């Protein structure tokens, strides 16, 4: 079942902020499904265009990946600043 994840892209990785992780969690995003026979790296999303911005992602988290990932929203600078403030980043 897909969930919505909110975070900041830092150094090309998705820094998860919500749902609130117990420890700092950096995830990679892939368009590949969790049960596909291909490695998740084959469908990895390049997050360079979102660097230092807040994004919302829909997908399924497992280990260090969000599978079937789709970026559904991006934060403009003011939204990114608010997300950082709210989550203490």
Q: Which two tokens stand for residue 10?
A: 């830092």
Which residues are within 8 A (CB) of 22 and not within 5 positions of it... i.e. 6 or more apart?
A: none
Give the angle subtended at the CA of 37 by the CAs of 33 and 42, to the nearest 5°. 65
User: Hey, which bits of 13-82 come out as E strands?
Assistant: 13-18, 26-29, 54-62, 65-74
User: Among residues 6, 1, 46, 52, which one has the least CA distance to residue 28?
Assistant: 46
- Judged by average pLDDT, the poorest of 1-10, 55-64, 80-89 is 80-89
Mean residue pLDDT of the chain comes to 94
pTM reported for the whole predicted model: 0.90
* Span 26-61, pLDDT tens digits: 999 999 999 888 999 999 999 999 999 999 999 999
């Amino acid at each position: 079942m897909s969930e919505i994840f909110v975070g900041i892209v830092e150094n090309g990785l998705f820094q998860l902020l919500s749902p609130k992780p117990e420890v700092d969690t950096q995830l990679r995003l892939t368009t590949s499904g969790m049960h596909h026979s291909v490695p998740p790296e084959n469908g990895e999303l390049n997050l360079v265009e979102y660097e230092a911005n807040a994004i919302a992602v829909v997908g399924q988290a497992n280990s260090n990946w969000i599978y079937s990932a789709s970026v559904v929203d991006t934060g403009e600078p003011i939204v990114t600043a608010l997300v950082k403030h709210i989550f203490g980043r």
